[in-house]
Structure 1
Amino acid sequence: MTINDIDNHRHLMAVVLDIESTDDESSIIRENIDVQSQHSIIVLEDSKSNDRQDVKFDDTKIENEPIYKLNDYEDINRDLIAQTEKVADKTNINCKQHNERMVDKTHSAHNRKLTKTINIDKLDSDPIIGYAQERLLPLAKACASLCSIIYDLSFYVQKALHETPEEPANELTIDESAAIRLYTMEWEEPHRSLYSELNHTLKKESRENLRPYFKYLKLLVTALVKLPCVPPLTIWRGVTKNLSAEFPPGTIVTWWAFSSCTTELTVLESNMYLGNTGARTLFSVEAINGRRVRDHSCFVTEEEIILLPGTRMIVQSQLSPATDLYIIHLKQVIPEDVLLEPPFEGALLYPKPKYYWYRKKRFVIPLCLIAILSIAAIIISSVLGTQFGSKIPAYRCTDPNPLSMSSETGQSPIYVLSGDFNNDNKVDLAVLNQVDQSIDLFYGNGQGTFPSQITLVTGLTPLSMIAADFDHDQNIDLAVTNQIDKTISILYGNGNAAFLTQTTYTVGKRPRSVTTGYFSNNHTLDLIVTNYNDNTISVLLGTDDGSFQLQRTYPAGKGPRSVISDDFNKDNNLDFVVVNQGENTISVFFGNGNGVFGSYLRYAVGESPDSVIAHDFNNDTILDLAVANYGGTTISVLYGNDEGTFGFQVTFEAGNGPNSIIASDFNNDGQEDLVVANWRDNTVSVLFNNGNGSFHQRQTYATGATPSAVIAADFNKDYRMDLAVTNYDENTISILINNNSGQFESQIRYATGKKPRNMISNDFNNDNKADLAVINEADGTIMLILGNDDGTFQARVPYLLKKTSSSIASGDFNNDNKLDLAVTNTDNTVSILLGDTYKIFQISMSYATGINPTSIISTDLNNDNNLDLILVNQDDNNLSIFIGDGHGSFQNSTTYDVGKRPISIVSYDFNHDKKMDLAVANYDGKNISILFGNGDGTFESQIMYKSGTNPCSIISIDLNNDNLMDLIVANEGENTISVLFGNTNGTFQNQIKYKTNKGPCTLLPGDFNRDMIMDIAVVDKRSTIVELLFGTSNMTLESQKIYPTGNWPCSAISNDFNEDGKIDLAVINRDSNSIFIFLNTCQ
């Protein structure tokens, strides 16, 4: 059995640690080994020599040799590997070229030799104390007493100091950081390095020989203790011997030297390291106080974890997953006695313990629950037993899914799952769109319909996903495999239909499927990913905060495509099953409960298997497997045995190209039935279980083009399982309601038409919910998106326009209590669209404007209670006034001069005379125009105020809470905003500028952080972000918060979309044809 496959991309560092010392000429070559990632793999080797021209493993037997300390495996006891040619001149030493700290070497006769005893743990060894009383000295002085012991030490001290940055990471001093760097350095051959001599001395029983090192130890341990402890995790070491007899479970182990380890189990098959033949032992260490030293190491590309001297562990278990391969599981414990004295008062060698109430009661609570449930079960069974003297026959449905209805998705939907993503106790759907590289979230209404949808961004070419609560916040999160990126994306949910920006983790080539479970039995969810082109499986162990450790990989069959997990051998540890599409098999891997998996078993299935599920189909309380065989027309069922093995496959007919399979009781007979999506004949097949695990009765239902995935859930809350199917080639999903109940409306996704140019928000259908109207420049449409009260939207209604439009406003122009629309057109007209009861807009009339109308608003300018229109004509340097008659018609325009290329306009009664005034941003004039109204629809001549360069958006708010309106201007040409505070007479003070990101183009006011002070949202189109500038009590703006948007965000609105009393944001992205909704989560 191979231990791992290597993805030839980058340098992987391997470490060889020795068991015994010999005087033979065995040696280790140094080379660059291209593998997937740069991580240190520790392999304990058995020869020590300074000749490094080739690798020879010592075959000397050790059965009759006495035992000695574990850390005597490594006279050098440090990670990382050798690579490059022999260094000829020490002045050309580059510490990034070779690393031998983890390569255990046998020295020739004139050098020190290791003892030939292997002592697992000498409990009577003296602790490492006394060094802490030394003064903390600069590195050069701390090493002065070692110059007579270690060859040319002063040269390497100066080199370490020279290579240390002026501001080291982790707030270490230069000398502290350099002390770690010096420890990681390799010496010019044949001389032994500092770490080699130090660790050799640390492992001696007598501490007297350690005294010359005290000053350096003080500095080194101080530096290491200042580094944060990495979260509890499993790290690895290895040795090319069978040490299982020396490490029975329960054995106490102490490592007295500084021990370097790796977080990733990617052991090379080459004989240079563990190889794939001969006796090999891996140590799996549950570490609690490791320190990551990469930021202070000579080897900046290597992920090295150091354990401090005096690390005590207990052997937990042993596993032999293959011939001559042994895994020993060690768990670090905090020793009762001091083994390593802290370097200074208050220093923490171990992380502070955390206490949780449920841990204190973790035994009491389950026992109480069991007792309560037992009593309840007795009472219920007694009552039911007296009420029913005979068994009522179960209702059996023969046609559970007669109806199919479709809704739009993104391009090439490839995967679908269900869950309550917005915490409304209703089933929602998540659809993965491969070409769009997006996820569509369809929010259910509890009636079997999905009237709303949100789009989330993933990595390149997403293929599969799962939903789970990874960060323990009671909200559903998502994990998505990205084929081209070779990553998995984690999107953390916040419980109100929104997800945080994705976090990605590297896996293998072309990841296809992902599953989750508690594989390490530590109450944190872990992930398993199939890597199709690598023929490997990636295991990512989870942490308490919802993040994941770096992957460990295991070999699989050819073309691993899908994966599921369950406890197949009933040992209370999760196992997993992988479908190997390239060789028509499945592989079953057995877990040992600490996130490590041993040997696997393979079983033949049908042609090109695509997916697999596990259920007890024949009612024998043992899990069985069902596999969809994409290359043919069948599914394979493998019935399970008690020990986790499976019998030969039994095949049943499905449709043509079965590629997705699920199980549930669809006909209410108490048996698990099967549903299969058939890619090539555009159907789903329902196979009913006859009670003994066979599936001969089959019904077929039409779907959309090329169904790619199917799930089951109760969408309409009638206690019957319904179906949802993604249709890959027509960008839809199909809903099949069980038993003819439920209706479906067209779903809406947040895609828009081509080149959305502008957008407004209002209640267009009189349901007291905020809706959206989007104008799409390139395809000449307006899109109306009706809102729910949870921040999602119901239906998209596109309206075809006769002209290309650029700006939009809304209002009840004909006083019929229904909202109407006004749009500016590129043919220098403005069109009026009157709304009706049925949410339909009819174009009533168009009016001539000036040249290039670009911005339009509506308000009552002449106090007649009828809405009027104001728009700016960019190429005429003026604005047009259209006075409304209250019946949907408008008088011909009156124009007023403003500055150069007016682009944005706002209205308000700035001088408190109860007459509407106007403020205009002039893009080429570096100014704004103020026009005071006369109350009859006419205006005084403009008054100008300076702004920044290329002002492109203007809003009015009371920013400083003085009951006077202020003006805020976005200056696109210089990446600033200008604030002009208002005076009581309608004039404005000189501008105050604030820096923004690139291309501020839209401004939105609101109290976004709910502190009773107005804030500003700025859309920066060139930075593709929205930034929030929070107002303060001293009339300033500060504390930016940045949110990413789509490409070229050009328009935005603010409103309370989910009726929670908080201001939300909606941004349209012109070049990515999308809308982004930002729901406010402030308390």
Structure 2
Amino acid sequence: MGAFRLAVLGWTMVMPSLVLAQVGGVFDAADNSNSLDGKPAAIVVADINNDNHLDVVTANADTASVSVITGDGGGFMGWWGRYDAGSVPMGLAVARFDDDGNPDAVVSNGNMSALTYLKGFGEGTFEVTGDPIMLPGVCSLDPAQACNSDLPQAEDECTAAEKGECTAVAGPGAIATADLNGDGLADLAVASAGNSEGDAKVSILFGRGDGTFTAVAPMITGTNSPSTPSTAGVLITDVNSDSRPDVVAANSGSSNVSVFLGDGAGGFGARIDSSVGVAPTAVAAADINEDGHPDLTISMLDGILVLTGDGQGHFTAGASAGAGNTPNGVVLTDVDKDGHVDALVSNNRSSDISVLRGNGLGGFGPARSFVADEEPLVIAAGDLDEDGFPDAVVGARNYQNAFYLPVLLNHGAGRLLAVEDLLIGQAVAATAAGDVNNDALPDLAVIFGSGADSRAQVFLAGSDGGFVVTTPVATGEYPNALALADFNRDDKLDLVTTNNHSDNVSVLLGHGDGTFDAARSSATEPKPLACAVGDFDNNRIPDLAVASTGEPGAVSILLGNGDGTLHSAATVTVQNTPLALAVGHFDGDANDDVLVANFGSNNISILLGNGDGTFRTSDPLYVGRGPASIAVLDLNRDGADDFAVALANEPQLNVAVYAGSAGGVTFWLSIPAGDTPSAIVARDFDGNGRPDVVVSNQVSNNITVLVGTNSNRLSRLGSVTVSRQPKTIAAADFNGDGRYDVATSNYAQTSMNVSVVNNSGAAAVLRADGNGDGRRGAADLVALQRQLADSDTGRPEDAGGGSFAAAPGVDANGDGLITLQDARATVTRIFLGS
């Protein structure tokens, strides 16, 4: 079925916080339309209602319940119900534990040393049946050898030594199920974390086939650390290839794995420990190196580690691979159906799921990570849309402390239908889009770091939706804004950053292959914080406006010399804390004007260009509390530039639009976005020829989509979750499919990444089809030349409004602008055919 889709005007509707449904354009996002009854501690994918479609069951620790969400076989999950499950459910197993043929469930109750049995009725419902299943303690003497006197204590003739001391099993958690004793009935292995009074253990319970169990003395798995519960996970697999199930426990407290070899009749051998050197948070088993012996993969603090099995029950540390921030779950499956085992990893603090493709040799390739929700807690996999590829399903918590079940459908080739995170490793201050390697695809540039470690880095886009990472290059100290433009007029994009601590801007001249020269600096006013490119002296050489937050706020105008250097032409005093700039034409003439968002003064300064690098000012325009970002667009389709402002401190109507004209700027509309808007960008995202707006929201950790309507208004249609604290936003057609995508730079220390949101459902434009005839040829170069006769730059959605009509495909490289760089991209696409 693809993405969760709700047909409302052709875009995607949030249901309730993550997924966009089809309304004329669809961004790729996980389906998060199903809420959970509480905090998920365990998750299982199985056919609960006997309809031959996979469903999902979660154990919810804080509400003493299990949730059942049924599947339709097309990837859509529908809420079914909530069922009591005893106190603090921490582990979950689903199997046919009685003889009626319906799936049942067993949960571990973390605070009562017991399990709860839930009988299934075959249509998706459960009911607690019988008394709690108590887990046996560990005794210093075998019960058959102990005195066990039943006399009253005063008359008890047994000594303490004769009785034997028993310690209760504390903190039961993870559960695995299989037939351990060969009787054809489902049995249980239950991991218990232990506490200060006893070590961690695995308890074995043999099923009787009627929903009851016979427990045997538990097996100690490792020395417990009170601050770090020892057993993080348990699984049942045949580690020594004797066709008999064995039990494996991953021990966080003792940083090892314990193996108990089974004899097939319910007995187990002595514990075999293998040190791994790190504290595992979860464990999974599969033959990763394809030698015929099961291997293990554990999740740990900063990635995953393969433990290679020798077929005798011993494991040695093998290849490791990075994932997201704080992995807490791992599933092994063949994600791309190439015959090799791959890994799905849930990352608790970076809000995403990592896909690591296996090489069949015992290792994994680099991770691709996809946003699930604010805080993934548990993960499972299954073919939920029945297309032959395993999908990921996650129990997660959002920023409002509500719990949901994101479903990330599998596109194959290691890509999930979801927002993708590009790991940077440091908090990302800003991002910008442009074709830096001249391959007709826009790339992503980011800045990060501080002091001598301040850097810019480029991610080169590929037509498959992936990116190639380049080597970071040094900038000035504490870069906080960047832009891309051809400052030395060599038809290769250069990069410029504002550097807050060194009070300057750095220009890095591009080589046209994704690499850059060393930075050249030009001084600005104190504490530069934002920049925007324009042609302020009408010589067709890019210039730069720089906003500085010193006292008072100021905008420096740096004119380009055409060789990559800049010279200061003017400084204009503005209001308090100028955070953002935008360039457009707001007074009816052809000169570039500059808008300044004064965050501390709640207003906009309008600097009207004279065409010679100087500006005249007017009274500031009050726009609302906390203007943080500006996007230029022609919303009312009158040929004059309008602008939209993101208002970070307005709780409700936090996007305001103002219309420009020769007579001045007037208020047009206001509309709600998300919680604390941080950045705003305008493009024709739904492909209907009208500008739309996407807003990043720093507290709600999402983007909001506002689409342009036939009545020249904006309509709020939904939101898509990205990683934490999106700070800036860029939009371009990164995968070259004719639709504008979105990227956010995420500033939280737990994220340290860029989220890329692919647009997969809008009407596609044929890039380099400048005249709109559905073909590529020399006539399209003529259309581009005529479009640029009016101006050196323009917007594709306005292509038909100048002296010569063109089509949106005139934006040949998909960067969202019509510039001379599109000439090279047009030629590239004509001759390469893509």
What residue is the counterpart of 1:832 in the other structure?
A: 507
1:892 aligns with 2:561: no
Amino acid across the alignment from 1:867: P
Distance in 1 (CA, whole Å) between partners of 2:117 and 2:93 is: 10
Task: Decide whether the 8 Å contact of 2:288 with 2:358 is kept in 1.
Answer: no
1:965 aligns with 2:584: no
Distance in 2 (CA, whole Å) between partners of 1:1077 and 1:601 is: 50
User: Is the alpha carbon distance of 1:736 and 1:1019 closer, same or farther for their aligned partners in structure 2, counting shifts above 3 Å?
Assistant: closer
Q: CA deviation at 1:832?
A: 1.7
Amino acid across the alignment from 2:747: R
Distance in 2 (CA, whole Å) between partners of 1:1039 and 1:1002 is: 16
Amino acid across the alignment from 1:563: I
What residue is the counterpart of 1:820 in the other structure?
A: 494
Q: Which has the higher helix share?
A: 1
Match of 2:260 among 611, 629, 636: 636
User: Is the alpha carbon distance of 1:967 and 1:888 closer, same or farther for their aligned partners in structure 2, counting shifts above 3 Å?
Assistant: same
**1:947-962 equivalence runs, <5 A:** 947-962=623-638
What residue is the counterpart of 2:527 in the other structure?
A: 852
Q: CA deviation at 1:858?
A: 1.5
Match of 1:648 among 235, 247, 267: 267
User: Is the alpha carbon distance of 1:505 and 1:804 closer, same or farther for their aligned partners in structure 2, counting shifts above 3 Å?
Assistant: farther
User: Is the alpha carbon distance of 1:469 and 1:848 closer, same or farther for their aligned partners in structure 2, counting shifts above 3 Å?
Assistant: farther
What residue is the counterpart of 1:602 in the other structure?
A: 216
Task: Decide whether the 8 Å contact of 1:810 with 1:820 is kept in 2.
Answer: yes
Distance in 2 (CA, whole Å) between partners of 1:1045 and 1:887 is: 39
Distance in 2 (CA, whole Å) between partners of 1:770 and 1:477 is: 40
What residue is the counterpart of 1:36 in the other structure?
A: none
1:612 aligns with 2:235: yes
**1:886-925 equivalence runs, <5 A:** 886-898=562-574, 901-910=577-586, 914-923=590-599
Distance in 2 (CA, whole Å) between partners of 1:987 and 1:530 is: 68
Greater relative contact order (CA < 8 Å, ≥ 6 in sequence): 2
Task: Decide whether the 8 Å contact of 1:615 with 1:663 is kept in 2.
Answer: no
Q: In terms of mean alpha carbon deviation, does 922-931 or 519-528 score higher?
A: 519-528
Task: Decide whether the 8 Å contact of 1:463 with 1:483 is kept in 2.
Answer: yes
What residue is the counterpart of 1:1002 in the other structure?
A: 679
Distance in 2 (CA, whole Å) between partners of 1:548 and 1:1059 is: 47
What residue is the counterpart of 2:457 in the other structure?
A: 784
Task: Decide whether the 8 Å contact of 1:515 with 1:528 is kept in 2.
Answer: yes
Residues 396-432 of structure 1 show CA distances to partners (whole Å, capped at 9, x for unaligned) of xxxxxxxxxxxxxxxxxxxxxxxxx999xxxxxxxxx
User: Is the alpha carbon distance of 1:590 and 1:1063 closer, same or farther for their aligned partners in structure 2, counting shifts above 3 Å?
Assistant: farther
Amino acid across the alignment from 2:680: L
SS in 1 for 2:568: coil
1:880 aligns with 2:556: yes
Q: CA deviation at 1:849?
A: 1.3
1:805 aligns with 2:487: no
Q: CA deviation at 1:739?
A: 6.8
Amino acid across the alignment from 1:955: A
User: Is the alpha carbon distance of 1:765 and 1:696 closer, same or farther for their aligned partners in structure 2, counting shifts above 3 Å?
Assistant: same
Distance in 2 (CA, whole Å) between partners of 1:1071 and 1:873 is: 24
What residue is the counterpart of 2:659 in the other structure?
A: 981
Task: Decide whether the 8 Å contact of 1:1015 with 1:1030 is kept in 2.
Answer: yes
SS in 2 for 1:638: coil
Amino acid across the alignment from 2:633: I
**1:1057-1076 equivalence runs, <5 A:** 1057=734, 1059-1074=736-751, 1075-1076=754-755
1:1037 aligns with 2:655: no
What residue is the counterpart of 1:446 in the other structure?
A: none
Q: CA deviation at 1:1046?
A: 6.1
Task: Decide whether the 8 Å contact of 1:612 with 1:628 is kept in 2.
Answer: yes
Distance in 2 (CA, whole Å) between partners of 1:762 and 1:578 is: 54
Amino acid across the alignment from 1:586: I
**1:56-67 equivalence runs, <5 A:** none
User: Is the alpha carbon distance of 1:971 and 1:647 closer, same or farther for their aligned partners in structure 2, counting shifts above 3 Å?
Assistant: closer
Distance in 1 (CA, whole Å) between partners of 2:687 and 2:513 is: 37
Task: Decide whether the 8 Å contact of 1:709 with 1:726 is kept in 2.
Answer: yes
What residue is the counterpart of 2:14 in the other structure?
A: none
Q: CA deviation at 1:1038?
A: 3.7
**1:110-259 equivalence runs, <5 A:** none
Q: TM-score, normalised by structure 1?
A: 0.46
Amino acid across the alignment from 2:431: M
User: Is the alpha carbon distance of 1:972 and 1:718 closer, same or farther for their aligned partners in structure 2, counting shifts above 3 Å?
Assistant: closer
Residues 955-980 of structure 1 show CA distances to partners (whole Å, capped at 9, x for unaligned) of 21121334432222234455543322
Amino acid across the alignment from 2:268: Q
Residues 230-253 of structure 1 show CA distances to partners (whole Å, capped at 9, x for unaligned) of xxxxxxxxxxxxxxxxxxxxxxxx
Distance in 2 (CA, whole Å) between partners of 1:830 and 1:678 is: 42
SS in 2 for 1:851: coil
Match of 1:866 among 529, 535, 541: 541
1:588 aligns with 2:265: no
Amino acid across the alignment from 1:906: A
Q: Which has the higher strand share?
A: 2
Distance in 2 (CA, whole Å) between partners of 1:743 and 1:708 is: 18
Distance in 2 (CA, whole Å) between partners of 1:1020 and 1:1006 is: 18
What residue is the counterpart of 2:248 in the other structure?
A: 627
SS in 2 for 1:880: strand
Q: CA deviation at 1:953?
A: 2.6
Residues 966-1020 of structure 1 show CA distances to partners (whole Å, capped at 9, x for unaligned) of 222234455543322233x373334544455664443222345555543333344
Amino acid across the alignment from 1:860: D
Q: CA deviation at 1:797?
A: 5.3
Task: Decide whether the 8 Å contact of 1:960 with 1:1033 is kept in 2.
Answer: no
Q: CA deviation at 1:933?
A: 3.6
Amino acid across the alignment from 1:989: T
Q: CA deviation at 1:697?
A: 8.7
Q: CA deviation at 1:808?
A: 1.8
Residues 209-241 of structure 1 show CA distances to partners (whole Å, capped at 9, x for unaligned) of xxxxxxxxxxxxxxxxxxxxxxxxxxxxxxxxx
Q: CA deviation at 1:636?
A: 1.7
Distance in 2 (CA, whole Å) between partners of 1:662 and 1:891 is: 60
Distance in 2 (CA, whole Å) between partners of 1:724 and 1:769 is: 29
Q: CA deviation at 1:714?
A: 6.1
User: Is the alpha carbon distance of 1:1033 and 1:746 closer, same or farther for their aligned partners in structure 2, counting shifts above 3 Å?
Assistant: closer
What residue is the counterpart of 2:133 in the other structure?
A: 555
Distance in 2 (CA, whole Å) between partners of 1:664 and 1:935 is: 68
User: Is the alpha carbon distance of 1:756 and 1:1011 closer, same or farther for their aligned partners in structure 2, counting shifts above 3 Å?
Assistant: same
User: Is the alpha carbon distance of 1:805 and 1:603 closer, same or farther for their aligned partners in structure 2, counting shifts above 3 Å?
Assistant: same
Task: Decide whether the 8 Å contact of 1:757 with 1:776 is kept in 2.
Answer: yes
Distance in 2 (CA, whole Å) between partners of 1:916 and 1:577 is: 71
Match of 2:430 among 753, 758, 762: 758
Distance in 2 (CA, whole Å) between partners of 1:959 and 1:605 is: 69
User: Is the alpha carbon distance of 1:944 and 1:1061 closer, same or farther for their aligned partners in structure 2, counting shifts above 3 Å?
Assistant: same
Distance in 1 (CA, whole Å) between partners of 2:90 and 2:448 is: 36
Tell me the C-alpha RMSD between the 2 structures: 5.9
Task: Decide whether the 8 Å contact of 1:714 with 1:721 is kept in 2.
Answer: yes
Task: Decide whether the 8 Å contact of 1:480 with 1:489 is kept in 2.
Answer: yes
Task: Decide whether the 8 Å contact of 2:321 with 2:365 is kept in 1.
Answer: no
Amino-acid identity (%):
25
Distance in 2 (CA, whole Å) between partners of 1:679 and 1:954 is: 42
Distance in 2 (CA, whole Å) between partners of 1:785 and 1:815 is: 20
Distance in 2 (CA, whole Å) between partners of 1:704 and 1:909 is: 50
Q: CA deviation at 1:564?
A: 2.5
Match of 2:112 among 529, 534, 541: 534
Distance in 2 (CA, whole Å) between partners of 1:713 and 1:918 is: 53
Task: Decide whether the 8 Å contact of 1:931 with 1:943 is kept in 2.
Answer: no
Amino acid across the alignment from 1:612: L
Q: CA deviation at 1:890?
A: 1.3
Task: Decide whether the 8 Å contact of 2:290 with 2:361 is kept in 1.
Answer: no
Q: CA deviation at 1:528?
A: 5.2
**1:236-315 equivalence runs, <5 A:** none
